[in-house]
Amino acid sequence: MLRVFLCVLGRDITLAMRRRTDVLTTLFFFIIVVSLFPLGVGTEKQTLRILGPGVVWVAALLASMLALERLFAADYEDGTLEQMLLTAQPPALLVLAKVTAHWLLTGLPLVFIAPLIGLQYQLPGEALWIMMASLLIGTPVLSLIGAIGAALTLGLRGGGILLSLLILPLYIPVLVYGAGAVTVSMIDLADTQPYLSLIGAFLLLALTLSPLATAAALRIALE
């Protein structure tokens, strides 16, 4: 099973590297959105510190959504997805491999870019570390939840809009606690533990349920 997981993971990453513009679009979108806010609201230090955590998290959420519609679309169009689901391997394992590839290409780079972006908002060093930690735990949740929406809207005309309507309400708890952890860290670093623990709980729940729900939705889409 581990060999199959790594095979699907490597395949998706290789295919994505052949379409580097899709990956770079996500990164540039994140950088541009976060960088525009200081130009619009001014350079007052306290204002930037208040807005910074929320802006970074909203930009990360929207950037993660850019690639969701293509998560299963290419494999669906050429018949690869149907062949994958017909194999003896658990469909949830194949889904988890594809979601992991999506996170490695769209979520993990944001984790490393975020501290550099956070400097524009005059965030202290402790807040930058908490921002990295919250994104590291929270962005996989975004990918896992988004995979369910991508599977439910697979093959539908105008699926991108429907996908946004389905998953944005589910993203709200992760957004609230992720941005809240960074904001609280600027007041008392010890108070960030409950926020990170809750995001971690969301991650465990998503890892348990999302691959199963996504695999079921893919089967429905292929019928």
Instruction: Please list, in sequence order, all residues whose beta carbon lies within 8 angstroms of the beta carbon of residue 174, skipping any fewer than 6 positions away.
Output: 61, 138, 141, 142, 145, 199, 202
Asked if residue 141 lies in contact with residue 199, where contact means CB atoms within 8 angstroms, the answer is yes
Q: Is 53 helix (H, G, I), strand (E, B) or coil?
A: helix
Given pLDDT bands bounded at 50, 70 and 90, which one contains residue 10?
A: confident
Alpha-carbon distance of 125 to 15, in angstroms, equals: 37
Instruction: Please list, in sequence order, all residues whose beta carbon lies within 8 angstroms of the beta carbon of residue 192, skipping any fewer than 6 positions away.
Output: 130, 181, 184, 185
Domain count, the chain: 1
Q: Is 107 helix (H, G, I), strand (E, B) or coil?
A: helix
Amino acid (1-letter code) at residue 211 = P
pTM to 2 decimal places: 0.88
pLDDT the model gives residue 221:
78
pLDDT, tens digit (0-9, with 9 covering 90-100), for 98-126 = 899 889 988 888 888 888 888 888 888 88
pLDDT, tens digit (0-9, with 9 covering 90-100), for 136-155 = 999 999 999 988 888 888 87
42 has a pLDDT exceeding 80: no
Asked if residue 215 lies in contact with residue 92, where contact means CB atoms within 8 angstroms, the answer is yes
Domain extent, residue 88, equals 2-222
**Mean of pLDDT over the chain:** 85
Backbone angles phi, psi at 22, to 5 degrees: -65, -40
pLDDT the model gives residue 158:
64
Most confident of 23-27, 150-154, 174-178: 174-178
